[in-house]
Chains A and B, each alone.
Chain A
Amino acid sequence: MKEKIIYKKPDSLTDINFSYCPGCGHSTVHKIIAEIVDELNLREKIIGVAPVGCAVFAYNFWNFDVSEAAHGRTPAVATAIKRVLPDRLVFSYQGDGDLASIGMAEIIHTANRGENITVIFINNTNYGMTGGQLAPTTLLSQKTTTSPYGRDAKNYGYPVKMLELLSPLEGVKYLERVKVTDAASVIKAKNAIKKGFTYQMQNIGFSMIEVLSSCPANWRKEPVEANKLIDEEIVKVFPLGKIKDIK
């Protein structure tokens, strides 16, 4: 009897365990990015820019070059890296507090300039690292530590749909929203990220993939239940699929 290995931890992940909570979507997205880097043989070519938030230690987990930026500023740092090293594949990895709150200006201008980078946007509808505060993406009536009675539009406005907001900008070439709640959706998410990277290699321009991602710890849910919440409720507010694809 012979045994053939058909799935293993990608080489582009180090042996350091992820610092994320059990079931956290960040882990799954880190893993699929590493798988793509392996598959496309990008280890010596790719440079990630890690955010502030739970993913602040991303450089410990990916076995390739990763820079770090101040809160919300990864698109600006990624812009600089890409302009200085145009032959590298550069991606910005950001949470929703990072991208849609403190970094709102950076993401809009980077997108509008049509920088040839790929943005991976982890939307877990709250500020994970600091204890589950309201984010611009928090759903209406969702309870967070800073909206204990639930988000109401009168006081806090509406959930920001970043892809729909960036879509009219001419510099923006590819926008897709995915989730990573089961094996099938993980495969789709991986294909979307791969497409973003491929577009960048073809010099097509700015792309952003938004991943609806669970934060079981702050949602106070078991990981499987947290994923069910995405499948059943969150997708109604943030519809999945391609928002823009110029090809």
Chain B
Amino acid sequence: MQAFDYKYQQLEPVKSFKRVPGPEMYVPGHRTCAGCGPALNYRLVAKAAGKDTIFIGPTGCMYVANASYLCTPYAVSWIHAQITNGGAVASGIEAAFKIAMRKGRHAGPFPNIIVMAGDGGTVDIGLQAMSAMMYRNHKVLFICYDNESYANTGVQTSPMTPYGAATTFTPPGKEIPEGKTLFPKNAPQLVIGGHPAVKYVATTTIAHPLDLMNKVRKALSQPGPTFLHMLCPCPKGWLFDEKMTREMARLAVETGMWSMYEWENGTYKYTNVPKKYKPVGEYMKHQGRFAHLKPEHIAKMQAFVDEKIKQVQRPIPVAAAVPGKQ
């Protein structure tokens, strides 16, 4: 694998809220729903990344509700990608900047190249393009803003939609009372398990803004591909009160529905681990998408989460040893 030998940006961690960079790179004027988690996420990511950034926006809410009527809220360069190909378009942009720097057309710095993809654009129809980008070792940060459904098309089930959620493709009914019967994919593990070129993966939520921004900055300071999985509650898809977007993300962590961790070069670091997890019902009860569930369904969800949080105490071993930094 060829080393990445272009001058790229090193972004220092932001120590406190007071030191958060001022300039907004994702500006007001977009058309997302009130309380939209992914929009808040975009603002934080763009702030953390700063002006020397290029966003790739695969089709999804963060395209359609942002870039409407020929006007967009991005103060940095941005390009629409198909929902299918965020990773591939980013690869091409990265390759173009390499050649531009080799030929002296672009003096630097190497841009922060960020794909801002929905869960569908990451783990479903966009998976192939993301995986190949990572395999080829492009210096690209791939972000999955996870609102746990194909939201933009009217809230259909995606591989990140939790068990038991009602979506427009998994309506609960007499024959299928729980709505969604499948359990979701594990997005970060898909990346960690199969992409030796990736040295940094992390999860976070919009309820942890400083943590979120610092993970963005750390990911962008790597010389190769990186991945962030960000929980972004969606009031329209999950059917909760739009005032509670941050509360939903916080409860997800407190109940173990979501775990916060960093994986760096083979080592896991879990943060925000609750002393005692709240029952999942505390999270689910606020959301209309779970309103139809019976106690046995909630018990099934609890069992799933109980199993999942075992990994938090016992970090998941990596299948193959990852070589250290050269």
Indicate, yes or no, whether A interacts with B.
Answer: no
